[in-house]
């Protein structure tokens, strides 16, 4: 699966998530990992982007708690997670109260189904 495949990089990324697979790109020329999905490498300009499975672990780089009334679902976390591969992605940390999510917390990715659409969320690594 190359970065310039049919349907575009974002469509390919989402299709894989919908099948339960979390993949990011790695440039075959400069070996940098890339996220969000792209057609060319932002580091060297190469189109030689391959889809690879990340370790799925990382740290919370930034976090905030979004406040909602309980009848609207209650508070939730929004975090910027830096994967061990060096790329960052926006998501949430599940399984702990939103106010307990802290910068530097080790987390592990998992793909969840949200009404038929796959998405990556994280859990605290020590909560396995």
CB count in 10 Å sphere of residue 126:
10
Q: How confident is the model at residue 3 (pLDDT cuts 50, 70, 90)?
A: very low
Residue 6 has pLDDT above 60, yes or no: no
Residue 1 has pLDDT above 80, yes or no: no
Q: How confident is the model at residue 14 (pLDDT cuts 50, 70, 90)?
A: very high
Q: How confident is the model at residue 128 (pLDDT cuts 50, 70, 90)?
A: low
Q: In this structure, are residues 9 and 38 in contact, taking their beta carbons and an 8 Å threshold? A: yes
H-helix or E-strand spanning residue 11: helix 9-18
Give tens-digit pLDDT for 46-82: 999 999 999 999 999 999 999 999 999 999 999 999 9
Instruction: Please count the residues of the chain.
Output: 128
Q: Which residues contact 124 (CB under 8 A, 6 or more apart)?
A: 93, 95, 96, 105, 106, 107, 108
What CA–CA distances, in Å, run from 105 to 3, 6, 75? 31, 37, 19
Q: In this structure, are residues 76 and 65 in contact, taking their beta carbons and an 8 Å threshold? A: yes
Q: How confident is the model at residue 126 (pLDDT cuts 50, 70, 90)?
A: confident
Q: Which domains does the chain have, with CATH numbers?
A: 9-52 (no CATH), 57-127 (2.40.50)
pTM for this entry:
0.86
Phi then psi for 112, rounded to 5 degrees? -120, 155
Q: Which residues contact 63 (CB under 8 A, 6 or more apart)?
A: 77, 78, 79, 80, 93, 101, 102, 103
């Amino acid at each position: 699966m190359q970065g310039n495949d049919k349907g575009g990089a974002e469509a390919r990324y989402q299709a894989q998530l919908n099948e339960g697979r979390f993949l990011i790109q790695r440039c075959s020329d400069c070996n940098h990992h890339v996220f969000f999905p792209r057609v060319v490498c932002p580091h060297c300009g190469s189109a030689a982007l391959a889809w690879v499975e990340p370790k799925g672990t990382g740290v919370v780089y930034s976090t905030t708690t979004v406040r909602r009334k309980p009848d609207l679902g209650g508070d939730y976390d929004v975090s910027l997670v830096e994967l061990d591969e060096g790329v960052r992605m926006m998501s949430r940390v599940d399984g702990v109260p939103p106010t307990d999510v802290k910068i530097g917390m080790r987390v592990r990715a998992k793909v969840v189904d949200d009404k038929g659409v796959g998405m990556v969320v994280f859990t605290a690594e020590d909560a396995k």
